[in-house]
Chains A and B, each alone.
Chain A
């Protein structure tokens, strides 16, 4: 291989340069925030479905809830474990997770996603 030193340095510089936005982001943003649970949520032990499923698919589930409640008029959710819940973001989810800023917002801000739920739905009042 000709010009080994130059070529390898070139490759290293190239890689560092092109991954720099990700690297900077990694340093800047720090570790991802943990969603905080309210005492009520802790007491319930489990959300409507398993925690892993909720972490991974809560957005899909909210989409399904919305479509079923508004469009199909089916406002009762029978969970995998057979328990029944009222299909409502504002009245069911936020009843337990009444700490929107610590439960929803900090992760969403971290991931730079801006769900527009709260332009219409009314968030529970938080004691600051």
Chain B
């Protein structure tokens, strides 16, 4: 059968049109699915700059341990007990926590006291600036978050953080520390080998309206106060108004958001 060029082009044109419509119908069907939406939990806490005020005078060794334990249980933090330790919240001596302010005649009470330390959730976080994958970033409410899915384990952030708040997973916690025992909190993930982790200011708890685990663990003593620094009526602002408080290494300009009443 002979077909003229004209009729061939007609058929070609019509089929192209048909195929085009088909794929757009397909796209529209997918767009229908796109009606699904995401929303924050209405019960979640919202703030502009979360901060913690640690009242060292109210923290004895026992309450300090309580805060640490609560955090580590909730976040499945392994306790290796060697130099590959994972730190979310830990203790150190005054001279290490606040270097340059120590002197030979420090009150014994301060000199020997284990200071509760954690990520400062700096307003100007150096770790965020150096992260090549934006695996760590600062949220609108000031939390310096980690996205474990994106971390490539380059450890630039660990070099950048002047507070030693970040730890690298040299080994897989699931095949080492949690090999023979269950991770304590089945609702929270563990980490994997080759990622950096740190305190996330309990972002997952704030999202459902709960206080950070360390704050809740010591709430009877009110030794750690949590709140929004930008809200003049918040508890942290009230406490800071009443007491003199210091921060770790403020001279570095990272603007830490964890305050210490000593």
Interface centre among A74, A87, A120 (most CB of B within 10 A): A120
Contacts of B193 in A (CB 8 A): 119
Q: Is the CB–CB distance between A73 and B203 below 8 Å?
A: yes
Q: In the complex the two chains form, what is the Cα distance from A74 to B145 in whole Å?
A: 14
Q: Is the CB–CB distance between A75 and B207 below 8 Å?
A: yes
Q: Is the CB–CB distance between B147 and A120 below 8 Å?
A: no
Residue A28 at the B interface, CB < 8 A? no
Contacts of A77 in B (CB 8 A): 36-38
Give the nearest-CB partner of A84 in chain B. B39
Tell me how many residue pairs across A and B have CB atoms closer than 8 Å.
Answer: 66
Residue B87 at the A interface, CB < 8 A? no
Give the nearest-CB partner of B174 in chain A. A119
Question: Pick the contact of B38 from A49, A68, A124 — CB < 8 Å?
Answer: A68
Give the nearest-CB partner of B207 in chain A. A75
Q: Is the CB–CB distance between B36 and A90 below 8 Å?
A: no
**Which of chain A's residues 92-128 have a Cβ closer than 8 Å to chain B?**
116, 119-122, 124
Contacts of A49 in B (CB 8 A): 33, 36
Q: Which one of B16-24, B98-106, B116-124, B181-189 contacts A?
A: B181-189
Q: Is the CB–CB distance between B38 and A74 below 8 Å?
A: yes
Q: In the complex the two chains form, what is the Cα distance from A87 to B39 in whole Å?
A: 10
Question: Pick the contact of A90 from B39, B189, B191 — CB < 8 Å?
Answer: B189
Give the nearest-CB partner of A116 in chain B. B192
Q: Is the CB–CB distance between B183 and A120 below 8 Å?
A: no
**Also in contact, A80 and B36, with CB within 8 A (given A73-B139, A73-B207):** yes
Contacts of B192 in A (CB 8 A): 116, 119-120
Residue A23 at the B interface, CB < 8 A? no
Q: Is the CB–CB distance between B186 and A122 below 8 Å?
A: yes
Residue A16 at the B interface, CB < 8 A? no
Residue B35 at the A interface, CB < 8 A? yes
Contacts of A121 in B (CB 8 A): 189
Give the nearest-CB partner of B137 in chain A. A71
Contacts of A90 in B (CB 8 A): 186-189
Question: Pick the contact of B36 from A70, A75, A79, A122 — CB < 8 Å?
Answer: A79
Residue B233 at the A interface, CB < 8 A? no
Q: In the complex the two chains form, what is the Cα distance from A70 to B191 in whole Å?
A: 15
Residues of B within 8 A of A (CB): 32-33, 35-41, 44, 76, 137, 139, 145, 147-149, 172, 174, 183, 186-193, 203, 207-208
**What are 27 residue pairs bridging A and B, where the CB atoms are less than 8 Å apart in the complex?**
A49-B36, A70-B145, A71-B147, A73-B40, A73-B44, A73-B203, A73-B207, A74-B38, A74-B39, A74-B40, A75-B40, A75-B207, A75-B208, A77-B36, A78-B36, A78-B38, A78-B39, A80-B32, A119-B174, A119-B192, A119-B193, A120-B189, A120-B190, A120-B191, A120-B192, A122-B183, A122-B188
Residues of A within 8 A of B (CB): 49, 53, 64, 66, 68, 70-80, 87, 90-91, 116, 119-122, 124
